[in-house]
Chain A
Amino acid sequence: EPEVTQTPSHQVTQMGQEVILRCVPISNHLYFYWYRQILGQKVEFLVSFYNNEISEKSEIFDDQFSVERPDGSNFTLKIRSTKLEDSAMYFCASGGVHEQYFGPGTRLTVT
């Protein structure tokens, strides 16, 4: 069964550094998403991406975040200058109109 994959599973970085989180969505899906889950809190929507551009973004997705689909398979989330409060589990998802399938997540730890 096709699945969404994410790399790395765990990323540790120092405050102020740039990080890139990578995702390979399910191949025939058209919509791509990023979410985050701070430890002990709810899953929060960051951004959706369709037809090679951002479709919707939340208030969390400020100028320090960017997304890219650099080739036909990968979908990346870049955080330009990480802050301590960016420490969270980041989930990629892909899907169609009524379904979103999630990857296993990348745990980002900012020290």
Chain B
Amino acid sequence: GNSVTQMEGPVTLSEEAFLTINCTYTATGYPSLFWYVQYPGEGLQLLLKATKADDKGSNKGFEATYRKETTSFHLEKGSVQVSDSAVYFCALANSGGGADGLTFGKGTHLIIQP
């Protein structure tokens, strides 16, 4: 079955530091890959996505590249801000269509200190 593995948190960084949150996956076929962010007390927000190999998703300074050869989708940001503090979830969906449920990783709690 499908699975997503992401680095355990919490990850604590200083403002303006470089961020990497690792994500690897196991899936059949060619899944679509996603990063969601959950701010305190809020629901999940779609941060970025990639639907095929070598695609790069980007949004709000974050980016992730779909690497089929390493089955990875690592999230990066060049300079983090305090407002980026949140829980980040890597997820995948089978490519079979819109009805597929997402498979999530456990989430990585990111803490940015001023």
Surface stretch bound by A, among B20-28, B38-46, B60-68, B70-78: B38-46
On whether the beta carbons of A98 and B32 are closer than 8 Å, the reply is yes
**A96 to B101 alpha-carbon distance, docked (Å):** 12
- Tell me how many residues of A have a C-beta within 8 Å of chain B: 30
Question: What 0/1 readout, one digit per residue, does chain A (42-84) give for beta carbons within 8 Å of chain B?
Answer: 1111111010000110100000000000000000000000000
On whether the beta carbons of A101 and B102 are closer than 8 Å, the reply is no
Question: What 0/1 readout, one digit per residue, does chain B (80-114) give for beta carbons within 8 Å of chain A?
Answer: 00000000010101000111111111110000000
Q: With both chains docked as a complex, state the minimum distance between the C-beta of B42 and any C-beta of chain A, in angstroms.
A: 6
Residue ID in chain A nearest B36 by CB atoms: A102
Known contacts A43-B44, A43-B89; decide if A97 and B97 are in contact (CB<8 Å): yes
Known contacts A48-B99, A50-B99, A104-B43; decide if A98 and B49 are in contact (CB<8 Å): yes
On whether the beta carbons of A102 and B101 are closer than 8 Å, the reply is no
On whether the beta carbons of A56 and B43 are closer than 8 Å, the reply is no
Residue ID in chain B nearest A49 by CB atoms: B99
On whether the beta carbons of B98 and A97 are closer than 8 Å, the reply is yes
Does A99 count as interface, using CB distance less than 8 angstroms?
yes
On whether the beta carbons of B99 and A31 are closer than 8 Å, the reply is yes
Known contacts A98-B32, A98-B49, A98-B51; decide if A45 and B102 are in contact (CB<8 Å): yes
- Show the binding face of B for A, using Cβ within 8 Å: 32, 36, 42-46, 49, 51, 89, 91, 93, 97-107
- Show the binding face of A for B, using Cβ within 8 Å: 4, 30-31, 33, 35, 41-48, 50, 55-56, 58, 91, 93, 95-105
Nearest 7 interchain pairs by C-beta: A45-B101, A55-B99, A102-B44, A97-B98, A104-B43, A31-B98, A43-B104
